[in-house]
Amino acid sequence: MRSEHWLFTIPLRLRSLFRRAQVDQELDDELRDHLERKTEEYASQGMTQEQAHRRARLDLGGIEQTKEKCRDARKVNWIEDLIQDLRYGLRMLRKSPGFAAASIFTLALGIGANTAIFSVLDAAILKPLPVNDPDSLLIVEWINPEFPAGVGNINGDFHRISAGRFQGSSISANLYRKLAQEQTVFKALVGIADPNSVAIVVDGQPAEQVSLQYTSGNFFQGLSVLPVVGRPFLAEEDRVGQEPVLIVSHRFWTERLGRDQNLLNHKVRINDVPAEIVGVTPPGFFGLRAGQWSDVYAPLAMRVAFSPTTGDKVARGEDDWDWWVRQVGRLKPGISKADATADIAGRFRAVAAQNLNVDASKVPELITLPGRRGFDSLNPSDASALWILTLLVGVLLLIVCANVANLLLARSVARQRESAVRLALGASRGRLFRQHLVESGLLGFLGGAAGLALGYALAQSVHLMFESGRDASSMFDLRLDTRVLGFTASLSILTSVLFGSVPALQAASAELNDALKSQARSVMGRRLRLPALLVSAQIALCLTALVAAGLLGRSLKNLKWTDIGFDRENLAYVSVNPGQAGYPTERLRSYVDRVCDEIARLPGVLRVSTVGHRPMSSGGQLSRVSIPGRSLRIEKGVVAPEQAATVNWVGEGFFETLSIPLLAGRTVDRRDVRADGEAVVVDERFAKHFFPNENPLGRHFGFNPNDNARYEIVGVVQDSHYNSLRDEQAAAVYEPFSPDPRKAIHFVIRASVDSQTLEGAVRKVIASVDPAVPLTEFHTQNELIDRLLRTERLLAVMSGAFGLVALTLAAVGIGGVLAYAVARRTNEIGIRMALGAGTGDVVRMVLRDSVSMTVLGILVGLPGAYAIAKVLKATLFHLQALDPRTAFLSFFALIVVAILAAWLPAQRAVRIDPMVALRYE
Amino acid sequence: MLLLKILALGPMNGFAVSQRLKQVSGDVLQVSDGSLYPALHKLEQEGWITSEWKTSEYGRRAKYYSLTRLGRRQLEKETDNWGRLSSAISRVIKLKEA
């Protein structure tokens, strides 16, 4: 029965939809025909043609109304209503292109900014790993009351979670393999290590640095990430002594191998060890940590092969005291997380007790964590920065909504006549409301589409700032995927409803009488209160944005120009890693000397030296200080800053190159390297902290309690910052350079030429001394500092941009409302001027409105500004949250903007000719 | 229902339908012109009547409505309902007062 029904009606509905003109014409004809017949009948009853015609028309009622009712009767489907509304909306927008452009632009700005921040947030924190069924993944870590017995070294994470409990991420390769072998609860248990930087030579080209991660043999199969070219690792390949094999990332394959399907054609060397590429990962696979892209994967056992020779006989990485492999397991379906955890913990206890030769109770306890998003990608400060940005960008969107709502309100007032006529023609108020809402929806859609494009572009630049230095190994996978699209779509709908509902309500409640009469003479009363309130709301939000921008900006400035203890200008660092290129210990010193000489000879170079850890770069080494005769409470694996010192090795002339003054004693050079100990230089902090009230020169200390007289202090230099601009610095120890092929070497250069020239010249030098040694990095000191500050810079720039946009929008908002107020009060102003008011009075009137809106906004915005200051408190440097200068500057900026925005409307008000105004209705 | 019944008698245009109804019911039932056409369009939308443009004897083009099979079924249903309703009302009205 139903299907028949549809069969009959579908052709009809389609016709109404697609052949409107024809259908309309037919309706017209039908009614006209009826009128004719009616007229005839009346005429036949004796009336005149004219009378009959009039009578017939009266009987019918209004033709247009009847037509409209017929049209309504045809419509059972709300879709037809919607389409009609859309067409109408489009037509209306086309009629006022200025308004449309302004609103779409502002919406695009607001939605775009939100999309950008969301896509970064999503990629960094929210999105699951791009693997099959990420919810079935579990990360396996362990907890222990102290540094595990029998373990010497832990890579990955190791930190205290509470008193007497530590959490660590990695176990030894051996233990991992034993665990992975028999699995009942996991479909697969894969192992992966943190990325290493290695030198790679492809087909004889110059060496470059890549990020390499060692993984278990079953890594790719276990994660169901099957290579698109070639094959995954085989279990047998994860054995010491096997031919090294590699799997590369899709990006590496595209950029370095030209998408060549014949992988085995290419000759590759990793740290000067030949290896074969056997597979390519799918595009979009970056590893297990968002923000960390590895370009090369190798089996765990290859760590032995690729590590530079140190003369150790022991197979590196295969001992049970070296814990460096993280584990991730894929749950078998039907097994609960708790069961899996208990099972694997028990198994580990047994295996580890046996291998480490310790009691089972001393073995760390395995725990599992959800692995859906992989390993944590952002450190807490970056994560909180991102949330702050999300907040600010939300505030911006609200301002945008208020702005567009105002524009719509102004427009709906102008269209009141139209609304009134439509109501008179039979439209229901509900219909009118819906139609205005659809118009808003249209604006929202267009703004959202533009915003999506803008957001994508913005996200790329936010991203660039976030991972400073465009380092290929730390990138987020920012794509316009369905999640981002969905977010933008929902945001567009939400904002449309937000800014559209009130103007729609106003339009639908248009009073017929008021509108159809000639312009009512109301002053800025009821009609303009709403827009004025919206503008005040905008200003309140703007205050929040400005305060945030001000605080973050000043904090950044304080941080950046903090005194770091040495001259940061004209200083550059060149990094090389000869150990990776195969240099043994004996040849290192001569290499370094040669390079130093050559660089010193370059024009413009004032001083050269070498250093192990570049000042003001991240990372570094913190070691516990042991002093003979003093006992220290030692907590294995954890170094308390007050008991430790940062250690750096320096070459000859280091302190002079950096302009760090020597306060006592002398500097160190190669003669101070002795087999049984070294002479070292310490900084003032060290001297004051560890040897207060005595002469530190000649005193001894060590980093190992069993060898605590190894180092002799021969000099004291001024304090300088090591790896942070913030205050808390540990004491510093400077050792003389002693060659170690495992470590990178940085040349520090003070030059009078610009960095680009210097870089070019230095590259040539490095290549000429030995082309097999890659120049891994070149950075000026200021660049390094900027890198350290990347989060703060990002926040300052973004909040500054948002503040500026918010201010502009507020200015536009004020200007708009004032202009409209002036237009409506033309009459009143004309009267006043005729009665003797001067230009000054008129201007004052306009200004008063402007300033009152602004002041109201500021007052309303104070709590919000206070709240955001509190939120930012943790990240501010040498700045209190309620910083008075920032607050006053923000108020000042808003007042100035209010006055400036009032200028144009005031001018217009002043130019009102009283005679014209009085006649104007 | 009434419109459907009128059309069951044969295809006719809107004007004729209202005339017929007036005639048959003795001027008691009249449908205003303003509501006639919306009603006819609604019936057509439901699929109970269908329309056709015909050129009449005098060369005049008019839209003629006729009942569809679906419409006939609907008419039967509504007639039955009406029958039940009216007999129920009659029963109540015919109750002897005490």
Q: Do A72 and B38 touch (CB under 8 A)?
A: yes
A281: phi > 0 → left, psi -120 to 50 → alpha, else beta; which? Answer: beta
Cα(A561)–Cα(A135) distance, integer angstroms: 46
* Residues forming a β-bridge with A673: A678
Q: Do B60 and A70 touch (CB under 8 A)?
A: no
Mean per-residue pLDDT over chain A, rounded: 84
Helix, coil or strand: residue A650: strand
Selected for mutation to probe chain A from B3, B12, B13, B15 (highest A CB count within 10 Å) is B15
Find the residue in A nearest to B45 (Cα): A74
* Residues forming a β-bridge with A638: A635
Cα(B66)–Cα(A501) distance, integer angstroms: 45
Checking if the pLDDT of A471 tops 60, the result is no
Q: What backbone torsions phi and psi does residue B63 show, to the nearest 5 degrees?
A: -95, 120
Residues in chain B within 8 Å Cβ distance of A74: 41-42, 44-45
**Low-confidence winner among A65-79, A159-173, A255-269 (lowest mean pLDDT):** A65-79
CB A467 within 8 A of CB A291: yes
Give the count of alpha carbons within 13 A of A382, CB side only: 19
Cα(A354)–Cα(A359) distance, integer angstroms: 8
Q: Do A66 and B50 touch (CB under 8 A)?
A: no
pLDDT of A43 reads: 85
Q: In Å, how far are A344, A379, A644 from A166, measured between CA atoms?
A: 19, 18, 20
Percentage of chain A exceeding pLDDT 90: 21
Q: In Å, how far are A409, A509, A675 from A506, measured between CA atoms?
A: 8, 5, 88
Rounded to an integer, the average pLDDT of A913-919 is 73
Q: Do B13 and A33 touch (CB under 8 A)?
A: yes
Q: What is the DSSP string of A218-259?
A: THHHHTT---SEE----GGGSSTTSPPEEEE-HHHHHHHSTT
Q: Do B37 and A59 touch (CB under 8 A)?
A: no
Distance from CA of A69 to the nearest CA of B (A): 6
pLDDT of A466 reads: 61
Cα(A790)–Cα(A784) distance, integer angstroms: 10
Cα(A163)–Cα(A744) distance, integer angstroms: 36
Q: Which two tokens stand for residue A725?
A: 């601009």
Query: Which residues fall within 8 angstroms of residue A908, CB to CB, at 6 or more apart?
Result: A819, A822
A12 touches chain B (CB under 8 A): yes
Position of tokens 């030059």? A751
pLDDT of A311 reads: 42
Query: Which residues fall within 8 angstroms of residue A62, CB to CB, at 6 or more apart?
Result: B34
Find the residue in A nearest to B54 (Cα): A30
pLDDT of A271 reads: 84
Q: Do B45 and A5 touch (CB under 8 A)?
A: no
Checking if the pLDDT of A7 tops 70, the result is no
Find the residue in A nearest to B34 (Cα): A60
Cα(B75)–Cα(A643) distance, integer angstroms: 98
Find the residue in B nearest to A15 (Cα): B45
Residue closest to A299 by CA, chosen among A191, A192, A216:
A216
Cα(A362)–Cα(A686) distance, integer angstroms: 37
CB A191 within 8 A of CB A219: yes
Rounded to an integer, the average pLDDT of A7-28 is 74
pLDDT of A316 reads: 59
Domain boundaries, given as residue ranges, for chain A:
2-76, 77-127+380-517, 134-370, 540-565+786-921, 571-785
* Amino acid letter, A670: R
A59 touches chain B (CB under 8 A): yes
Q: Can you point out the beta strands (E) in chain B? A: 12-13, 49-55, 61-67
* Residues forming a β-bridge with A732: A646
Checking if the pLDDT of A671 tops 50, the result is yes
Residues in chain B within 8 Å Cβ distance of A72: 38
Q: In Å, how far are A280, A320, A391 from A313, measured between CA atoms?
A: 33, 15, 56
DSSP A60: H
Q: Which two tokens stand for residue A868?
A: 């955001």
Percentage of chain A exceeding pLDDT 70: 92
The DSSP element (H or E) to which A606 belongs, if any, is strand A605-611
Cα(A700)–Cα(A688) distance, integer angstroms: 15
What are A546-566's pLDDT values in tens digits?
999 999 999 999 988 888 889
Query: Taking the CA atoms of chain B, what radius of gyration do you get in angstroms?
Result: 16
Cα(A136)–Cα(A53) distance, integer angstroms: 81
pLDDT of A467 reads: 58
Q: What backbone torsions phi and psi does residue A734 show, to the nearest 5 degrees?
A: -115, 115
* Residues forming a β-bridge with A755: none
* A158 vs A512, more confident: A158
CB A914 within 8 A of CB A834: yes
Helix, coil or strand: residue A836: coil
Q: Do B34 and A26 touch (CB under 8 A)?
A: no
Angle at B45 between CA B41 and CA B46, to 5 degrees: 120
**Low-confidence winner among A271-275, A289-293, A461-465, A690-694 (lowest mean pLDDT):** A461-465
What are A612-664's pLDDT values in tens digits?
999 988 777 788 888 888 776 666 666 777 788 888 999 999 999 999 999 99
Cα(A789)–Cα(B52) distance, integer angstroms: 79
What are A793-824's pLDDT values in tens digits?
888 888 898 899 889 888 888 888 888 778 77
Q: Can you point out the beta strands (E) in A711-870? A: 711-717, 731-736, 745-751, 775-780
Q: Do B61 and A31 touch (CB under 8 A)?
A: no
Checking if the pLDDT of A766 tops 60, the result is yes
Residues in chain B within 8 Å Cβ distance of A61: 32-34
Selected for mutation to probe chain A from B18, B23, B30, B37 (highest A CB count within 10 Å) is B37
pLDDT of A297 reads: 94
CB A216 within 8 A of CB A191: yes
Q: Considering CB atoms only, which of A5, A38, A69 is closest to B15? A: A38
Q: Which fold has domain B2-93?
A: Arc Repressor Mutant, subunit A (1.10.10)
pLDDT of A524 reads: 39
Rounded to an integer, the average pLDDT of A35-45 is 85
pLDDT of A317 reads: 61
Checking if the pLDDT of A918 tops 90, the result is no
Rounded to an integer, the average pLDDT of A1-18 is 65
Cα(A717)–Cα(A528) distance, integer angstroms: 69
Helix, coil or strand: residue B4: helix
**Low-confidence winner among A141-145, A263-267, A659-663, A804-808 (lowest mean pLDDT):** A263-267
What are A886-909's pLDDT values in tens digits?
899 999 999 999 989 888 888 888
Q: Do A73 and B68 touch (CB under 8 A)?
A: no
Confidence of residue A747 (pLDDT cuts 50, 70, 90): very high
Helix, coil or strand: residue A656: helix
Q: Do A33 and B62 touch (CB under 8 A)?
A: yes
* Residues forming a β-bridge with A247: A279, A297
What are B38-83's pLDDT values in tens digits?
888 888 888 888 888 888 777 777 888 888 888 888 888 888 888 8
DSSP A882: T
Cβ neighbours, 10 Å, residue A907: 14
Confidence of residue A920 (pLDDT cuts 50, 70, 90): low
Q: How many residues does chain B have?
A: 98
What are A701-728's pLDDT values in tens digits?
988 777 888 899 999 999 998 888 887 7
Position of tokens 């004052």? A844
Selected for mutation to probe chain B from A69, A71, A425 (highest B CB count within 10 Å) is A69
Q: Considering CB atoms only, which of A9, A30, A65 is closest to B63? A: A30
